[in-house]
Copies of this chain bind each other. A is one copy, B any other.
Amino acid sequence: MTLPSEMNALLLVGDGYSRNPTGSVLEAMEPYVTPGRIGVPTPTGRQLLIKVSLASINPSDVMFVKGQYGQPRAKGQPAGFEGVGIVVATGDDPMAKWFAGKRIAFATGVSNWGSWAEYAIAEAGACIPLIDEVRDEDAAAMIVNPLTAIAMFGIVKEEGEKAFVMTAGASQLSKLIIGLARDEGYRPIVTVRRDDQAPALLEAGAAHVLNHTAADFADRLKVVMQAEKPRVFLDAQTGPVASQLFFAMPRGARWIIYGRLDMAQTVIPEPGQLIFAGKKIEGFWLVEWMRQGKERREAAVMDAQKRFADGRWHTDVTAVVPLAEAMARVPAELAKPNGKVFIKP
């Protein structure tokens, strides 16, 4: 197979970090990525060169292209953390060579050769050979969200209480966690912004779905917290709604922030609760979790693939956008609720 010397890609506009964080909404593509041509890279060592079939757009991708993701951008390099594709070249390492020709799910990590491109570079250790039963749409989103789901649900299990709280209850990530929770008898209490999001989430295994824009939100919140006594709060949102949830939670509550959908100020609602009720506020970052242990990471990857293959997990698709249309269409597709948006190079 002859590889081209150049390829089409969406290239990072910014360098390093943003000085003025503007939240997790991708209001437009132009400030952050630009379509361009760039040389196809040559994999070395344990690297794989992948012909990308489908690239995922995760909240972490949006944060990254905006310079808000805790890792610096390299201007002019392709964006995109995750995807599915075929290995078309490898480095010399035997572990890399083993992947030659295979269909894989991959995470590019900090290679700066991202998946929003015709070809991407990933370390063999961050790739999963796929069985045929797994759809491209599931495979392209098989690493970032599933590992985050398994890692954060692990925190819930360690804490011991069956009930736990999540904002952004209709996100793909929340749905994965709801699936895990249902299988093990846990009780997710999730918030959404529209009533029509509730039935599907209750069906999937949520114990309670609270619309945080509803007039009776505060009342329902109080009743649910008193009945369920959740300890862990997995928060993608921050801002006033998250503060209100944390305040309503019982003694010993842990507010674990992993995203920031709301750019409003995030207030500690009653610092006395930290002193006298043993409440805590912390963060979760998948990259840090992955650094802390290869074994549990690999077990999680295996678990994720099985769940997608046998249908316990399923990725809801909002849109598959051709690379050439991505600049024009992606922001509007991302703004739609309940599903995932992919780029097809």
Contacts and interface: CB of A to CB of B under 8 A. Distances in A.
B21 A275 contact: no
Interface string A237-257: 010000000000000000001
Given A260-B272, A265-B267, A268-B281, 19 more contacts: A21-B272, A69-B276, A70-B272, A70-B276, A70-B277, A257-B271, A257-B274, A258-B275, A260-B275, A265-B265, A266-B267, A267-B268, A271-B283, A275-B284, A275-B285, A276-B283, A278-B288, A280-B281, A281-B281
A184 interface: no
A191 interface: no
B288 A282 contact: no
Interface string A148-188: 00000000000000000000000000000000000000000
A16 to B, nearest CB: 14
A274 B281 contact: yes
A62 to B, nearest CB: 13
A68 interface: yes
Q: Which 10 A-B pairs have the closest CB atoms?
A: A70-B276, A274-B283, A275-B283, A281-B281, A266-B268, A280-B282, A238-B271, A275-B285, A257-B274, A265-B267
Q: Please tell me how many copies of the chain the complex holds.
A: 2
Contacts of A267: 265-268
A246 B50 CA distance: 43
25 contacts: A21-B272, A70-B275, A70-B277, A257-B271, A257-B274, A257-B275, A258-B275, A259-B275, A260-B271, A260-B272, A265-B265, A266-B268, A267-B267, A268-B268, A271-B283, A274-B281, A274-B282, A275-B284, A276-B283, A278-B283, A278-B285, A279-B282, A280-B281, A280-B282, A281-B281
Interface in A168-213: none
